[in-house]
Amino acid sequence: MRAMRRLRLSMIVLLALSGSAAVAVAAPIPQGPAFAPRFVGTPASANPVPGIPPVPQNPFMAPNGDSGIHDDGFQSNTYDRPGPLGSNPATISDFLLADCGSIAFDHAGHIVATCVGPSSVALYLMDAATLKVRGRYNLPGRGLLNLLQNPNVFQGFGGGGYFYLDNLDQAVVGTNSRHILVLAENATATGFVLKRNYDLTHVLTSTENLNSALPDSDGLLWFVTKTDGVVGTLNLATGAVHVLRLGAKNIGEIENSFAVGSDGDVYIATNLALYRFDAAADGSPSVTWKVIYPNTGKAKPGQVDAGTGTTPAILPGGYVAITDNADPMDVVVYRTAPDAAQRQVCAVPVFGKGASATENSLIAAGNALVVENNYGYTSPLSTELGRVTKPGLARVDVDNDGNGCHLVWTNTRVAAPTVVPKLSLATGLVYAYTKTAAPTDPWYWTALDFRTGAVVWRSLAGAGIGFNNNYAGITLGPDGTAYLGTLGGIIAMRDR
């Protein structure tokens, strides 16, 4: 209780420092002096990663890289385009007092983002160069029942934490009121208009709040809820809805998003198992296969529940990957084929026993996977007053013969408490967001060499609780700028 009071006080101080957050003008996130190096390392030269098969484009989503938090239907967290090289980089920010955790880009290059506050949720349209807010659409906030179910507001991802931008530049969002909204930009690109409103309250109970929704390769919309492990489908043309419940409360709950393949296949992980689903002839969700992954049965510090912390990631060649909840945690790869004689390809332990957990998705590029250690993060207090979480990023590759995997590198020198890291194939850099143990709490944009895991450079983003990203994912924009949601709002870093 005392810790939560300290956390609330930190947020009140952040608000007081700002005065008031204007919607129309980008006001920097308030911070104190960092007393830390502004840049460490050496600017990189682009070193492209060749031979990585492109992720197939889902025809019902915005172009790969622009559609949402994990960049594409495969949830690869990988870009063909470049990110910053660390050449005299500069960071700007916009103070919104809401964490813009999921970021997409429309065809004109504007930012479309859902920004989640302690009780509020909104869809924002922003200028990508200045972060100035062009418009917003308020979404249903977290009601009392939702807050009672999820008292740690910093570990709830439903009701707007996930959304996607479709092929028509429309944002598709599952709300806290159990509706799926389709929102289009108005004619002047200064806000949004509601195009469709799908009411699911007749098939979902009051405790089954929507967590994520994505279209499969045939255009059928799939959705999931945390409570009861609901897997549902929605025909966007007819409104027909089908649901399947995988378990009772806390048994089979679905905490994260899911992956959609290029042949109607859908991969969903609960806190117990990984599933492949395909739609039946009537559009209802049908289990193609299920595999139980290793599990300690405990929610480690750094996890939201006692299960995998990852959204499944699809790899070319017929594989899908998650992390398990063993101790130490494993990167686990499975074969996707419905009739695979042996489902599991490998389970490779990463980081240390008693010090390994993740609540963020894997980077998947070709046969390579990059995983991050989030062990020790239970709330923003975990990184206040000079505290840091357990360090670590690692790369695991599927063997060329497809019959096993191997650890390529581990970096235990950097602590990335909760960021979704991203890979640019154009620069050969993995982009993370790290914290040092300095008492002023500086946060850094951090670039690692994809081939070796070595840190290439770190660039100071800001200092203090307003720069804590709290599970938001890095996004690389069309012009190479890096963006990230934080508790203060949104930040951007670009080379000058």
| Inter-residue contact 333 to 405 (CB < 8 Å) | yes
What's the Cα-to-Cα distance from 267 to each of 59, 73, 170, 254, 261, rounded to whole Å?
18, 11, 24, 12, 8
Give the pLDDT of residue 160.
81
Give the pLDDT of residue 9.
42
Give the pLDDT of residue 93.
98
- Give which of 172, 101, 185 is closest to 135, Cα–Cα: 185
Give the pLDDT of residue 252.
83
Give the pLDDT of residue 249.
58
Distance from C-alpha of 217 to C-alpha of 197, rounded to nearest angstrom = 22
Distance from C-alpha of 21 to C-alpha of 16, rounded to nearest angstrom = 10
First-to-last C-alpha distance (Å) of the chain: 45
What's the Cα-to-Cα distance from 416 to each of 102, 204, 383, 391, 430, rounded to whole Å?
18, 36, 10, 7, 12
The amino acid sitting at 425 is L
User: Which token pair is 262?
Assistant: 């290029």
Beta bridge partners of 447: 431, 457
| Inter-residue contact 426 to 81 (CB < 8 Å) | yes
Distance from C-alpha of 388 to C-alpha of 381, rounded to nearest angstrom = 10
- Residue labelled with tokens 């100035």: 132
The full set of domain ranges for the chain reads 2-494
| Inter-residue contact 219 to 60 (CB < 8 Å) | yes
Distance from C-alpha of 457 to C-alpha of 307, rounded to nearest angstrom = 33
Distance from C-alpha of 42 to C-alpha of 298, rounded to nearest angstrom = 41
- Residue labelled with tokens 């020790």: 376
Distance from C-alpha of 409 to C-alpha of 454, rounded to nearest angstrom = 9
Distance from C-alpha of 473 to C-alpha of 466, rounded to nearest angstrom = 16
What's the Cα-to-Cα distance from 428 to each of 328, 442, 452, 453, 461, rounded to whole Å?
28, 25, 10, 11, 21
Q: Hey, what CATH topology would domain 2-494 get?
A: Methylamine Dehydrogenase; Chain H (2.130.10)
Query: Quick one: three-class SS letters along the chain?
Result: CHHHHHHHHHHHHHHHHHCCCCCCCCCCCCCCCCCCCCEEECCCCCCCCCCCCCCCCCCCECCCCCCCCCCCCCCCCEECCCCCCCCCCEEEEEECCCEEEEEEECCCCCEEEEEECCCCEEEEEECCCCCCEEEEEEECCCCHHHHHHCCCHHHCCCCCCCEEEECCCCEEEECCCCEEEEEEECCCCCCEEEEEEEECCCCCCCCCCEEEEEECCCCCEEEEECHHHEEEEECCCCCCEEEEECCCCCCCCCCCCCEECCCCCEEEECCCEEEEEEECCCCCEEEEEEEECCECCCCCCCCCCCCCCCCCEEECCCEEEEECECCCCEEEEEECCCCCCCCEEEEEECCECCECCCCCCCEEECCEEEEECCCCCCCHHHHCCCCCCCCCEEEEEECCCCCCEEEEEEECCCCCCCCECEEECCCCEEEEEEECCCCCCEEEEEEEECCCCCEEEEEEEEECHHHCCCCCECEECCCCCEEEEECCEEEEEECC
Give the pLDDT of residue 316.
96
Distance from C-alpha of 154 to C-alpha of 161, rounded to nearest angstrom = 11
Beta bridge partners of 179: 199
| Inter-residue contact 167 to 62 (CB < 8 Å) | yes
- 29 phi and psi, to 5 degrees? -65, 125
pTM score, whole prediction: 0.94
User: Which token pair is 241?
Assistant: 């809805």
| Tally of CB atoms within 10 A around 236 | 17
| Tally of CB atoms within 10 A around 353 | 10
**Side-chain-side CA neighbours of residue 453 (13 Å):** 18
| Tally of CB atoms within 10 A around 188 | 8
Provide the residue-wise pLDDT of the chain in tens; the chain has 496 residues. 444 444 444 554 454 444 434 345 679 999 989 899 999 999 999 999 999 999 999 999 999 999 999 999 999 999 999 999 999 999 999 999 999 999 999 999 999 999 998 778 999 999 999 999 999 999 998 654 554 455 556 666 667 889 999 999 999 999 999 999 999 999 999 999 999 999 999 999 999 999 999 999 999 999 999 999 999 999 999 999 999 999 865 568 999 999 999 999 999 999 999 999 999 999 999 999 999 999 999 999 999 999 999 999 999 999 999 999 999 999 999 999 999 999 999 999 999 999 999 999 999 999 999 999 999 999 999 999 999 999 999 999 999 999 999 999 999 999 999 999 999 999 999 999 999 999 999 999 999 999 999 999 999 999 999 999 999 999 999 999 999 999 999 999 999 9
The amino acid sitting at 78 is T
**438 burial type by CB count under 10 A (0-12 exposed, 13-18 middle, 19+ buried):** middle
- 383 phi and psi, to 5 degrees? -125, 20
